[in-house]
Amino acid sequence: MIVTGLSLGTLAIIVGSVSVLRAFQLFLDFRRLLASIHHLPGYRTILSSSSVLGHLFPPTPLLTLGHDYSWLSKHAPFAERGFDIISAVACWPKATGSLLIADVNVIKDIVWSRGRFPKPLDQYSILTFFGENIVVSEGNEWKRYRKIVAPAFSERNNRLVWDATTQIMLDLFDTMWAGQEEVVVNHSVDLTLPIALFVIGAAGFGRPISWKEDAVVPLGHQLTFKDALHTVTQDLTLKFLVPKWAMGLTKRFRRARLAFDELHRYLTEMIHERQGSQDEDDNNDLLSSLLSANGDKNLSKGEVKLSDSELIGNIFIFLVAGHETTAHAFSFAFALLALHPDKQEEMYQHIKRVLPDGRIPTYDDMPSLAYSSAVFNESLRMFPPVCTVPKSSAEDTTFNLTDVNGTLKTVVVPKGLGLTLDVPGLHYNPKYWEDPFTFKPERFLGDWNRDAFLPFSSGYRGCVGRKFSETEGAAVLTILISRYVISIKDEPQFAGETYEQRKARVLNAQSVLTLAPTRLPLVFRPRRT
């Protein structure tokens, strides 16, 4: 017993000593990191926000920023310090640091520098479950993917996007909403996710879905395509965190596992259907571009090849990027118009002036429908789909910018330091956007600072599908507002709330994979002409 006691005591001393030494080492690393950035003011936390534990906890002073810190704080942390670059340094599980940036010139320098500020691909590994893809790539790999997909995002495809969107909206009105004096949607995404999915399906992958077909589970499947894709995007973190053997332990885990299997099956079927198609006239969309780079056929000089897993991976990433972000943008746009009936009426009158005969708008009308595009842009400014764009510094460098007093200052950036383009911080920066918390679509009708608008990222890594999304946005808003009035659903439990309370409730959002509304109940009523 004495020997055992001594052994346990010795073990405790060893463990304690190692823990103390480890803590001391972390402290020294933390201090060195602060010194390397010249103690730039900002956040100091125990847990890194990029770690698993840092994501699990809500924003807690000194503990962690949480995963929603950028959206929740917007420009306030920069305003408090009088400087549009601040630091975020954590000491566990290792000393890590990042600069949060809300300055136009510095961001412009970063996004247009190909080699100096690469994307930290390890932070995107969650998006590679179906295969490597354009989002999780850098350097020559990214160039290879970009060369493959860029031809699909052409002016010809933009017309296809407009026509497909128009048909989808008219089909909604003529089938699902026909004869109804009032259409109640208890959560906006129940409407906007199908709209965006149907558009990317039809215009990007040659897979049109009608509103009636969407409710039917196809033979050989257990989930609809929409439900499988939505569940996968909501539960990507589960797949990342939960071991494969544990995915059958709970009902949610089992549904997530089923959704991943179902989506993979749908994507495989989509590929096989197109490969077996003989209709060359329709083969000018994104799926065709991806398929043409895949397969065993001999490729002539200059063509690029995709592996089977890369094919699936890129189809998946474009489906997610092409439907979830746009769907949430529609949700916020609808809510903002409902909360500001004067802006909604102004938009309606603008549409009437462009289309006085009430005809269905065409793609050629899009430049004239400037207010529709302005509403879409303003909703993207106020509710950016992706709140942070991570980069890293591949070399020692510096940034020069002025503080709130106009004094020029230099920020030291050591090699390997993380850089975070803080999109809400930029979009709510009063230096670039007057009265940034106010819904003002008209700010996009005149001259505006395009470098301070980052919903599609920017620079050489800017979103290849930007015009696709902008075209879809203008079409959906124009067709909907020309036919319907949007309002917020009245609910008895909120009868006594003020306008500001209602606004805060319906516009409440959280950032999961992308920024999404928490619950946004809407009512659509046909216009009386």
- Token pair listed for 347: 């938009």
Pick the CATH number of 139-386+455-526 from 3.40.640.10, 3.10.20.90, 1.20.1260.10, 1.10.630.10: 1.10.630.10
CA distance 320 to 197: 9
* Euclidean distance between CA atoms 42 and 170, whole angstroms: 51
CA distance readout (Å), 311 to 195, 233, 305, 315: 24, 18, 10, 6
Calpha distance 498→416 (Å, rounded):
49
Burial of 447 (0-12, 13-18, 19+ CB in 10 A): exposed
- Binding site: residue ranges? 463
Binding residues for heme: 463
Q: How many CB atoms lie within 10 A of CB 494?
A: 14
* Distances 144 to 68, 110, 309, 484 between C-alpha atoms, Å: 33, 22, 15, 44
What residue type is 221 in one-letter code? H
Question: How many residues would you count in the chain?
Answer: 529
CA distances (Å), origin 487, targets 182, 192, 266, 523: 11, 15, 36, 5
- Looking at this protein, which amino acid is placed at residue 118? P
Residue 506: CA count within 13 A, CB half-sphere = 30
Q: Round to whole Å and give the CA distance between 208 and 171.
A: 12
Would you state the pLDDT for residue 68? Answer: 86
Q: Which two tokens stand for residue 279?
A: 């209709």
**pLDDT at position 298:** 45
* Among the listed residues 162, 163, 131, 168, the one whose alpha carbon sits nearest the alpha carbon of residue 290: 131
Tens of pLDDT along the chain (529 residues) come to: 444 555 777 877 888 778 788 788 888 889 999 999 999 999 999 988 777 666 677 788 889 998 889 999 999 999 999 999 999 999 888 889 999 999 999 999 999 997 899 999 888 887 888 888 998 898 889 999 998 888 888 898 999 999 999 999 999 999 999 999 999 999 999 999 999 999 998 888 888 878 877 778 888 899 988 888 888 888 887 877 788 888 888 998 899 999 999 999 998 988 888 887 755 555 568 888 888 887 644 445 555 578 888 888 989 888 887 788 999 999 999 999 999 999 999 999 999 999 999 999 999 999 999 999 999 999 999 999 999 999 999 999 999 999 999 999 999 999 999 999 999 999 999 999 999 999 999 999 989 999 999 999 999 889 999 999 999 999 999 999 999 999 999 999 999 899 999 999 999 998 877 899 999 999 999 998 6
